[in-house]
Chains A and B, each alone.
Chain A
Amino acid sequence: MVTKKEYSRIVDKHSGKSPLFKDTVRAFFVGGFICLIGQALREFYGNLGLNKELTGTAVCISLIFIASLLTALGVFDKIGKFAGAGTLIPITGFSNAVTSPAMEFKSEGFIAGLGAKIFTVAGPVIVYGTASSVIAGIIYFVFMR
């Protein structure tokens, strides 16, 4: 039959490409809209009299809660399918990445299922997020202090 190289050319010819422009535009607007909601929440909590730091925390908690709730209601994956990186990049994507495996693996029990598998999607973000913040901390300590 054909060689691997020739076959790779045939595969490329018949395979579809992701609609990059459409995906980017959707991600930009949905992602921007989520940030707008975040800003509105910030104003709201600020008006309640929370200080700047507490306001930030309250906004994060609210967005995480909303995304998690929408995941549980089976709505978030539909928004994510439309928005792509628009819902993935903000903290909403992280919330969905933790909630969805928790729901999926509940059938294997709360310990070995939900408890063990809850970070299968978000785990790398936590590991490398923590590791890179340590590195950033060291750089700050050595050069900027």
Chain B
Amino acid sequence: MKRGTFIFEEKPSVLSFSAVVGKKEGEGPLGKFFDEVEKDSYFGQESWEKAESENLRRSVARTLKKGSFCADDIDFVISGDLLNQCISSGYALRSLGIPFFGVYGACSTMAESMVLGATMISGGFAKRVLCATSSNFCSAEKQFRTPLEYGGQRTPNAQWTVTGSGSVVLGNGDGPFIDSATCGRIIDLGVCDIANMGAAMAPAFVDSIIRHLKATGTDVSDYDLILSGDLGLVGKNIAIELFEKEALSPGDRYNDCGAMIFDNKAQDTHAGGSGCGCAASVLCGYILPKMREGKLKRVLLGATGALMSPTSTMQGESIPSISHIVSLQA
């Protein structure tokens, strides 16, 4: 084992997965791939926070049902989200009675929970682990930015928080498998603009990918797809330049979930999607089914998270970022 990287001899398998998203995501280019598209932005609830929690609950319920599991079949659930104290996860999972680890990795949460879940399975400490996360445009705007009806303008580099949730059950069985994983380092290159999160997070993604390639002795050409979580269009272009500086040229093999989930021109999402639900729903709705069909053989997912808060931003701090890597094999 190289520092921060797990190479699994017993490869944990992704047994079941699902993605439940909101209306706008359903109207995007990947809309037809998601398990469920909810047209009501409140998900039938009374507040944005409850809507997000309901979104997460539905995704988890679907993932369990698709794998024919009941809650008692799951040894641990690892989940987190963007809301203070991770309330979406806490409330969504409270009725299931599964031993729970709440994690916070901002928008890197899907990969973070899968890295931790995979180590538990591979180490023999658990048979099945449920990993989940969610985000919601309205609850994120309310917590991090301005009220929804406030008549302001978004900057060209701003991203659109994805309303969506993805969840997986890890265990032992058929592919896709997790063959290795890398825990990200906190990287901060001094970006302070919270309306340019892709720029803040791109260096963390490139750093983790380079560390993962070195630790596993692989090259970008060994993968069908290298995917960042939610760098969006600006961050994606920055990541490409950073790769070039490191003499890596992934070319068309590299893409970003935030750049894929919306039609940025038609849907007016500026620099693309963001949020925990971005990487989670693209992975669970689009990537994992493609791997099961055999259309993608090896995929590196580097979900990216910005570890600031509204308070740190107001105190003038720059944005520390992280990216956790999950290496998937069909």
Contacts and interface: CB of A to CB of B under 8 A. Distances in A.
B148 A77 contact: yes
Interface in A74-109: 74, 76-81, 83-84, 87-88, 93, 96-97, 99-101, 103-105, 107
Interface in B254-291: 271
A80 B152 contact: yes
Chain B, interface size category, equals: 20 to 34
A57 interface: no
Contacts of B196: 11, 15
A9 to B, nearest CB: 10
Interface stretch (B9-17, B172-180, B234-242, B294-302): B234-242
Given A15-B199, A15-B234, A103-B147, A10 B153 contact: no
A80 to B, nearest CB: 2
A8 interface: yes
Contact of A14 (B152, B203, B234): B234
B121 interface: no
A72 B191 CA distance: 36
B139 to A, nearest CB: 10
Q: Is the contact region of chain A dominated by helix, strand, or loop, or is it mixed?
A: helix
B150 A23 contact: no
Contacts of A111: none
A88 B245 CA distance: 43
Nearest to B50: A107
B113 to A, nearest CB: 27
A17 interface: yes
B252 interface: no
B238 A11 contact: yes
B72 interface: no
B190 interface: yes
B207 interface: yes
A107 B47 contact: yes
A71 interface: yes
26 contacts: A2-B189, A2-B203, A14-B199, A14-B238, A15-B157, A15-B196, A16-B155, A18-B156, A71-B149, A76-B149, A77-B152, A79-B151, A80-B153, A81-B153, A81-B154, A88-B151, A88-B152, A96-B151, A100-B148, A100-B149, A100-B150, A100-B151, A101-B150, A104-B142, A104-B148, A105-B147
Which A-B residue pairs are the 9 nearest by beta carbons?
A80-B151, A16-B156, A104-B147, A107-B47, A100-B147, A100-B149, A4-B190, A100-B150, A7-B189
